[in-house]
Amino acid sequence: MKKIPHRIYLTEDQMPKQWYNLRADMKEIPDPMLNPQTFKPATAEELYPVFCEELAKQEMDDSTRYVDIPEEIQEFYKMFRPSPLIRAYNLEEALGTPAKIYYKFEGNNTSGSHKLNSAVAQAYYAKEQGLKSLTTETGAGQWGTALAEACSYYNIPLTVYMVKCSYEQKPFRKAIIETFDGNIIPSPSTTTNAGRAILEKDPDTTGSLGCAISEAVEKAVTTEGCKYVLGSVLNQVLLHQSIIGLESKIAMESIDEYPDIVIGCAGGGSNLGGVIAPFMQDKLTGKANPMIIAVEPASCPSLTRGRYAYDFCDVGKITPLARMYTLGSSFVPSANHAGGLRYHGMSPIVSKLYHDGYMEAISVEQTKVFEAATLFAKHETILPAPESAHAIYGAIEEALKCKESGEEKTILFGLTGTGYFDMMAYESYLKGTMTDYIPTDEDLEKGFSELPKVLGIQE
């Protein structure tokens, strides 16, 4: 029997030349975004004040199955792609499982994450439109770093609003964003009306992605030649991130493998939507039936404990409304929550697929996540990002089930990136000072009580 190599690399010629749009194969597409003023379905033109025009069109395109990747983006991709598909032989041995574990490693770029896949695309379309600057938000800092890299390459000035507690916990994210000429501001801040309003209501707030989005959008719409870009949640982002799953499938086919289980960490849905894309396509079209599992933090459990409802994507309630699993736009994760995966809602695509029963979801306390992360690091030599470690936890759990049952299942998970900017969290875990926080039903009810009323849809 031919031994499968530890690492499977595609050649540049094997890289996908098209992104895959999951919506084209969904039995029921996600409900449309709503205009925040009229509560009517939004049009692409109504998104133009906020987003690049081409990205707004991608956001609204429910029918184009494959979208050509512009040659300039393909060339940029070649600086860090194709990314390797890795067989976790040492982890398998440590677990004593008959399962075969594979992971797609997206950490081979300075941002240390998969986020650059969409950052490059969004910066490219901004350059093509002739924009003068961009704004965005970032939680753990992966997206802000990736977009700073892309904007530096295209000479586009960038302002990043970073969730305040993450900004304070990860000073080196600030340094690297500034290395790539990005301007970074802890959010909420006094630089915007939205930030000042949030601080007036709660001067001691540690911030949230919803807060940072409000500030970034306000800055974009009040600055000439400036647009807002987002690193997760949106349809366009899942489109760009599909390259993760597409490469994974090509690599697995090259060794005659196909996953029985596909696992991704879940915050806003960018990595999860990317890694599952072609396998979910097979599930939707009846070609195969892999189990698909989303793993989210217990401190921000939008899928497992959220409501499937229309909600604002930001605290300031100036963005379009999306129907998604949400904890309410005012929900602020506990400050002790390490890493990203701290958005109050979930991608409308992921939400719809979960709601319709095409995937499962679990939530995990962060001490268990870091236990999985350190076990993985010791055996696979990669220090994973806390976000990625959620998927690692899920893969370990499924592998241990195989140990009990004796089944030789094939497991694929997305390793979104590295944890080298998360050393304060690792130090806290190793010292035994890390604690878990799980919001109570009463905590969550506060956010649910503020969900918007939409006449005839959501009373």
Instruction: Report percent pLDDT > 70 for the chain.
Output: 99
Average of per-residue pLDDT across 322-328: 96
Q: Which residue has the higher pLDDT, 6 or 210?
A: 6
pLDDT of residue 317: 82
Task: Give the confidence band of 166 by pLDDT, cuts at 50, 70, 90.
Answer: confident
Residue 377 pLDDT greater than 90, yes or no: yes
Q: Pick the residue with more confidence: 140 or 285?
A: 285
- Cβ count within 10 A of residue 455: 7
For the record, the structure tokens of 201 come out as 């209501």
State residue 449's pLDDT score.
94
Residues 292/262, Cβ–Cβ less than 8 Å: yes
Let me know: does 386 contact 370? Beta carbons within 8 Å: yes
* Tokens of residue 417, six digits: 């990136």
Q: Where are the domains of the chain?
A: 7-20+82-112+242-450, 132-224
Q: For residue 338, what pLDDT band results from cuts at 50, 70 and 90?
A: low
- 7-20+82-112+242-450 fold: Rossmann fold (3.40.50)
Would the pLDDT of 234 be above 60? yes
Q: 80-84, 189-193, 232-236, 341-345: which range is least confident on average? A: 341-345
Is-same-fold flag (7-20+82-112+242-450; 132-224)?
Answer: yes
State residue 172's pLDDT score: 87
**Stretch 181-200: mean pLDDT, rounded?**
94
Q: How confident is the model at residue 209 (pLDDT cuts 50, 70, 90)?
A: confident
The per-residue pLDDT of the chain, averaged, comes to 94
Q: Is the pLDDT assigned to residue 222 strictly greater than 70? A: yes
Q: What is the pLDDT of residue 69?
A: 98
Q: Are 278 and 291 in contact (CB under 8 A)?
A: no
High-pLDDT (> 90) share of the chain, %:
85
Identify any residues that bridge with 401 across adjacent strands, giving them in sequence order.
none
Q: Quick one: average pLDDT of 352-365? A: 98
Please report the sign of the dihedral spanned by the C-alpha atoms of residue 406, residue 408, residue 413, residue 419: positive
Residue 362: the pLDDT is 98
Is the model's pLDDT at 2 over the cut of 80? no
Q: What CATH architecture is 132-224? A: 3-Layer(aba) Sandwich (3.40)
pLDDT in tens, 390-419: 999 999 999 999 999 999 999 999 999 999
The pTM of the full predicted model, rounded to 2 decimals, is 0.95
Residue 279 confidence (pLDDT) above 60: yes
State how far the Cα of 207 lies from the Cα of 189, in Å rounded to an integer. Answer: 9
The verdict on whether omega for the bond into residue 333 sits within 30 degrees of 0, i.e. cis, is no
Position 98 pLDDT exceeds 90: yes
Judged against a pLDDT cut of 60, whether residue 1 lies above it is answered with: no
